[in-house]
Amino acid sequence: MTADLPKNHEWQQEHLRLAIDAAGIALWAWNVDTDLLTMDARGFELWGVPWSDTVTFAELSAHIHPADRDRVRAAFAATRAVLGNYETDFRIMIGDEVRWIAARGQGEDVGIVGRTMFGIFLDVTGRKQAEEGNELLAGEMSHRVKNLLAIASGLTTITLRSAANAEDMARELTGRLAALGRAHDLVRPTTAGEGPAALLGDLLSILLAPYDDLGAFKGRIRVAVERTAVGEAAATGIALVIHELATNSMKYGALSELTGTLDLSSATEGDQIVLTWVERGGPTVQAPDNPAGFGSQLVKRSVSGQLGGSIDYEWSDGGLIVTLCFKRSRLSF
**pLDDT (0 to 100) of residue 199:** 86
Determine the angle formed by the axes of helices 166-186 and 200-212, rounding to 10 degrees.
140
Mean per-residue pLDDT, 266-277: 92
Quote the pLDDT of residue 312: 92
In this structure, are residues 245 and 322 in contact, taking their beta carbons and an 8 Å threshold? yes
Q: Mean pLDDT, to the nearest integer, of 77-84?
A: 61
Query: Domain segments of the chain: what residues?
Result: 2-123, 129-330
* Fold of the domain spanning 129-330: Heat Shock Protein 90 (3.30.565)
Report in angstroms the alpha-carbon separations of 28 from 68, 107, 121, 234: 20, 14, 7, 52
pLDDT band at 204 (very low <50, low <70, confident <90, very high): very high
Q: Which residues pair with 311 in a beta bridge?
A: 324
pLDDT of residue 190: 46
> Where is average pLDDT lowest: 96-100, 172-176, 276-280, 317-321?
172-176
Residues above pLDDT 70, as percent of the chain: 74
Q: Is the pLDDT of residue 201 over 80?
A: yes
Q: 169 exposed, middle or buried (CB, 10 Å; 0-12, 13-18, 19+)?
A: middle
Q: Is the pLDDT of residue 19 over 80?
A: no
Asked if pLDDT for residue 60 goes beyond 80, the answer is yes
**Global pTM?**
0.49
**Which residue has better confidence, 267 or 31?**
267
- CATH code given to domain 2-123: 3.30.450.20
Q: pLDDT tens digits for 297-327?
A: 777 777 887 788 899 999 988 899 999 998 8
Whether the CB-CB separation of 302 and 237 falls below 8 Å is answered with yes
Q: Which residues have CB under 8 Å from 104's CB, separation 6+?
A: 85, 86, 87, 119, 120, 122
User: Mean pLDDT throughout 30-59?
Assistant: 84
The pLDDT of residue 81 is: 56
Average the pLDDT over each of 114-128, 185-199, 260-274 and give the range with the smallest value: 185-199
Lowest mean pLDDT among 122-131, 211-220, 253-262: 211-220
Contact 298, 307 (CB under 8 A): no
